[in-house]
Structures are given as structure tokens and as C-alpha cells.
Amino acid sequence: MNYRHIYHAGNFADVLKHAVLTRLIRYMQKKDGGFRVLDTHAGIGLYDLSSEEAQKTGEWVDGIGKLMEADLGPQVSELLEPYLSAIRELNPEGGIRFYPGSPKLARMLFRPQDRLSAMELHPEDYVRLHRLFEGDHHARITELDGWLALGAHLPPKEKRGIVLVDPPFEEEDEYQRLAEGLEKAYRRFPGGTYCLWYPLKKGAPIKEFHETLQALDIPKMLCAELAVRSDRGITGLTGSGLVIVNPPFTLKDELHQLLPALKDHLAQDRFASHRAFWLRGENKAVKDD
């Protein structure tokens, strides 16, 4: 309840999460039928990077700020085009003042048949999120603990969906809670595509987290990680990871294009790295760099 994403909006972790979310949405849209995005920890939806809070940390400068100015090459540019176009649409006068959170980004990419369910527990953030989508019949905004949504709001009536779980990691047991939440949700909606975000930092139980996920009875789980700096002498966030359950068959190859480019442009020291690999399912991993 103390976490406020405005201090971190548009940082390198957001870039990875939103780049992958965009690819998941575009893959879903290859079929005519509608689908639902369920965002369990939605935040306020739209962030003003000129605000006092965002300016205090300036994290976006080393995230989306670098990416928008980067020479990405044709293949990566094509993969990131929907994501970066949404940001340009929010900033018609140029520059980057406004940055979309996950619910806003998803909504901007929707077709008429696609829908959003966004959960936010923080009372002030819920009010702002609800106001942002007021009158939008494609969006359902609920003041609710996002962990509860993994049971109460699945499966969606569309029977197709992306479930984004991006908790604040304020508690020490969040990695375990993330695994338990996935197990519960998957039992209710085994055909869904799940995108689970987690932080990389010194001492984080990443190996144990991965082993817990591997022990679940879930056939396909793809993992993508991006670290922008060494964790030596640093107590804060050094990178982030995503676990994608039931990933599109195209995603592994797309990560092979995206991750090296994101590492090259967002690196904060020479120890920046990336990796993509199967936790469950396919055996062939994307080469680390």
C-alpha cells in the first residue's frame, strides 16, 4: 500500500514489461475474436513524468528516455512500433511528458472487441485510475486486492486473455506469493497467457523462485530477464524479469531480437546482461549476452 509507481514510471523495468505486453496483445489480435487483459496491480494508468515525484528519481531518463532516442534498426523498430507509437500519441508536441501504465497502454492498442479489467487497491490510485477510464465501456476498473482477482475474475467471459501480474514486491514473500497466485489462477484458466513481473536485485531468491515455478504442473513457461547494471555494492533494483505462461510461439524469436537491443541501449555499466530461457517446455534457450 506504500508503493507509488510514479517514482519509477518509464524506467528500464517498465520498458521490458511493456515491450513484451505489446507483443502479447498483437499476437492475440491475429484472431478476430475479442480477448480480455486482466491487470492485477494497475496503478493510476497514466503518469506525468514532469511531476515532482517522477523528477525526484528521474528513472525514466535511463529507460524510455533512452529508448525513444535510440537507433533500433528495422527489425527491432517493427517489434516496438506499437509501444513507441502509443507514447508518441500521448505526447503530440514531442518529448516525453506522459507515459502510459499497463492498463492505458493495453487500452490504446485495443480493437473494438477487446476488453480491460484493471484492479487497484490503493484508494487514491484507484480514484485516479477510475477517473481515467470513466465512461469507457471497454474497461472495468475495480478497487480490489489484485491477488484476489486471480480467483474471482478468472476465467474471463471471452475465454481468451492476458493476465498481467505486476506486484509491488513490498513484502519478503512476494516471490512465493507470485508462484502461488499463478498456480491458483492456472487451475481456473489454463488457456490464458500469463505475464508475471519480478525484480532482480542482490540477494533476491531468483533460483528458488524459478524452481518453485518449475515444480508446478504447467507445460510451457518462458522466462526473459534484463539486468542493466551489476549488483555489486547496490541494494536497489538492477534488472527485472518476466515469466510468460502459454507464450505465443513467436515470442522466443522476438525476444532474441529485443533483449540484445534493450541491453545495448539501456545498459548502465559494462555488466549489463540479458537472458531468455524455458522454465518448462521447449529446451532450446536464447543465448545469453
CATH number at residue 245: 3.40.50.150
Cell readout for 74 is: 528495422
Q: Mean pLDDT across the stretch 174-201? A: 96
Burial, 34: exposed, middle or buried (Cβ in 10 Å; 0-12, 13-18, 19+)?
buried
What confidence tens digit (pLDDT) does each residue in 239-272 have? 999 999 999 999 999 999 999 999 999 999 999 9
Please give the pLDDT value at position 285.
Answer: 46
DSSP structural state of residue 287: P
Q: Say which residue the cell 541494494 belongs to.
A: 235
39 is in an annotated binding site: no
Asked whether residue 288 is domain-assigned, the answer is no
Specify the length of the chain in residues: 289
What confidence tens digit (pLDDT) does each residue in 17-67 have? 999 999 999 999 999 999 999 999 999 999 999 999 999 999 999 999 999
102 is in an annotated binding site: yes
Q: Which helix (H) or strand (E) holds 242?
A: strand 239-245
Burial, 124: exposed, middle or buried (Cβ in 10 Å; 0-12, 13-18, 19+)?
exposed
Return all residues near 288 (Cβ < 8 A) that are at least 6 apart. 273, 274, 275
DSSP structural state of residue 5: G
253 is in an annotated binding site: no
Collapse the DSSP code of 172 into the 3-class scheme (helix H, G, I; strand E, B; otherwise coil) and give the result. coil
Range 122-125 contact pairs with CB under 8 angstroms and sequence separation of 24 or more: 122/1, 122/3, 122/4, 125/4, 125/43, 125/44
Q: What is the C-alpha to C-alpha distance for residues 61 and 57, in angstroms, rounded to an integer?
A: 9
Asked whether residue 287 is domain-assigned, the answer is no
What confidence tens digit (pLDDT) does each residue in 122-152 have? 999 999 999 999 999 999 999 999 999 999 8
Q: Mean pLDDT across the stretch 221-230? A: 97
Question: Position 110: which residue type?
Answer: F
Query: What percent of the chain has a predicted confidence (pLDDT) above 90?
Result: 88
Query: What's the mean pLDDT when you consider all of the chain?
Result: 94
Asked whether residue 201 is domain-assigned, the answer is yes
Q: What is the C-alpha to C-alpha distance for residues 136 and 140, in angstroms, rounded to an integer?
A: 8
Please give the pLDDT value at position 108.
Answer: 98
Asked whether residue 32 is domain-assigned, the answer is yes
Give the number of domains in the chain: 1
120 is in an annotated binding site: yes
Asked whether residue 74 is domain-assigned, the answer is yes
Burial, 108: exposed, middle or buried (Cβ in 10 Å; 0-12, 13-18, 19+)?
middle
Asked whether residue 68 is domain-assigned, the answer is yes
Return all residues near 232 (Cβ < 8 A) that are at least 6 apart. 202, 271
Q: CA dist 161 to 116, 173, 177, 213, 263, Å?
A: 10, 27, 21, 21, 29
Closest-CA residue to 37 (of 55, 59, 58, 20): 20
Reported as a pLDDT band with limits 50, 70 and 90, residue 232 is confident
Asked whether residue 26 is domain-assigned, the answer is yes
Full domain range(s) for residue 175? 3-278
Reported as a pLDDT band with limits 50, 70 and 90, residue 289 is very low
Q: Give the catalytic positions in this structure.
A: 166
Asked whether residue 283 is domain-assigned, the answer is no
85 is in an annotated binding site: no
Q: CA dist 34 to 90, 157, 249, 274, Å?
A: 25, 10, 19, 33
Q: Say which residue the cell 549476452 belongs to.
A: 289
Q: Mean pLDDT across the stretch 92-103? A: 96
